[in-house]
Amino acid sequence: MMTLFSRSSALDLAYVIFTSGSTGDPKGIMIEHRAFASCALRFGSTLGINSDTRSLQFGSHAFGACILEIMTTLIYGGCVCIPSDDDRMSNVPAFINRSKINWMMATPSYMGTFQPEDVPGLQTLVLVGEQMSPSVNAIWASQVQLLDGYGQSGSSSICFVGSISPLGADPNNIGLAVGAHSWIIDPSDPNRLVPIGAIGELVIESPGIARDYIIPPSTEKSPFFGTAPAWYPSKQLPEGLRFYRTGDLARYASDGTVVCLGRMDSQVKIRGQRVELGAVETHLRQQMPDDMSIVVEAVKPSDSPISTVLVAFLIPYIQSGRDISPS
């Protein structure tokens, strides 16, 4: 019998995950073993994962959510339940019941397609990937432990977690940092913090920050940095800590939680006026039914001399057996 020894160290590369490319070309991000492991030990327990967990592996293998579903569950001694392609596409509630799944992570829009009574054994539900939906929160919050998670590929998955109560919450609130510290800087001057409550760019300080992109940009354009900025309380960083500029606009709420207000790069100029696309989407959601998917874009017709115009796309969620009324 041969004994195999691991030759991996904490500083070795664990995996490479690619960004979605929604704000440009997809970029490969390098995550080290120490980055994911140190964060998983913190956000795992906060997300309700333990040795009794039976998690649904539902996330695409192209995104970091699947790493959390698989590796964090195994780190805590839980069981990962992997559906077949048929179950994943059309029979998820039945698979959840058949596999006795008690923990899952999904988008709010997906969880609006079925009801808590369809999956009575589900105990913990983590909503990720989209702005929270008041209607989905109202349905699920009284039936399960309902959490919302925020993270990016550059931060080893989840780095903010919030608990959602049946009484409702700000759909933009992402909770408190987990395994990390949060800072909000002036986007026009990264060496300056904005006042508490003011809007700025969200910066994450954590041992879970990525090493860098596979093809790193110039230093001044990289969102990753490992030296103490001017506003940091100490001139020296503890070993392993790094910073990541998320590119998201955010502010602190009165209770210390963080409110995420959309991408910095979603600001566009229309007829000389700066418009924040995320803010327009938020106001539209407040006026439209909760079961409506809304995307706002600045569009310039290719065959017309007309200047850029603001266009809102509104798409109702259609559940099987449900009719859409003319209203």
Helix, strand or coil, per DSSP, at residue 35: helix
Mean pLDDT over residues 112-125, rounded? 95
Is 317 part of any domain?
A: no
Query: Is the CB of residue 70 less than 8 Å from the CB of residue 105?
Result: no
Q: Does residue 308 sit within a domain?
A: no
Most confident segment among 169-173, 182-186, 189-193, 296-300: 182-186
Q: Which of 200, 249, 207 is nearest to 226 (CA)?
A: 207
What does pTM read for this prediction? 0.79
pLDDT of residue 80: 98
Residue 222 Cα distances to 93, 158, 245, angstroms: 42, 21, 9
Q: In whole angstroms, what is the distance from residue 136 CA to residue 290 CA?
A: 8
Handedness of CA 129, 131, 133, 137 (dihedral sign): positive
- Coil, helix or strand at residue 279: helix
Q: Let me know if residue 322 belongs to a domain.
A: no
**pLDDT bucket at 284, cuts 50 / 70 / 90:** confident
Contact by Cβ (8 Å): 81, 56: yes
pLDDT at 327 over 70: no
Give the domain extent around 103: 13-266
Does 271 map to a domain? no
Cα–Cα dist 284/300, whole Å: 21
**Percent of the chain surpassing pLDDT 90:** 52
Asked whether residue 40 is domain-assigned, the answer is yes
Q: What pLDDT score was predicted for residue 320?
A: 46
- How many domains does the chain fold into? 1
In a domain, 302, yes or no: no
Distance CA 67, CA 157 (A): 8
pLDDT of residue 324: 46
Is 280 a domain residue?
no
pLDDT in tens, 130-154: 878 888 888 999 999 999 999 988 8
pLDDT given at position 281: 82
Tell me how far apart the alpha carbons of residues 129 and 108 are, in angstroms, rounded to a whole number: 8
Lowest mean pLDDT among 110-119, 192-201, 212-221: 212-221
- Asked whether residue 2 is assigned to any structural domain, the reply reads no
pLDDT, residue 180, reads: 93
- For 53-95, what is each residue's pLDDT tens digit? 999 999 988 888 899 999 999 999 999 999 999 999 989 999 9
pLDDT number for residue 292: 78
Confidence of residue 24 (pLDDT cuts 50, 70, 90): low
Check residue 46 and give its pLDDT.
94
Whose tokens are 């503890």? That residue is: 238
Q: Phi-psi category of 118—alpha, beta or left, where left has phi over 0 and alpha has psi -120 to 50?
A: alpha
Q: What is the pLDDT of residue 78?
A: 97
Q: How far apart (Å, rounded) are the C-alpha atoms in residues 182 and 285?
A: 27
> What are the structure tokens assigned to 292, written together?
């409506």
CATH code of residue 42: 3.40.50.12780
Q: What is the CA radius of gyration of the chain?
A: 21
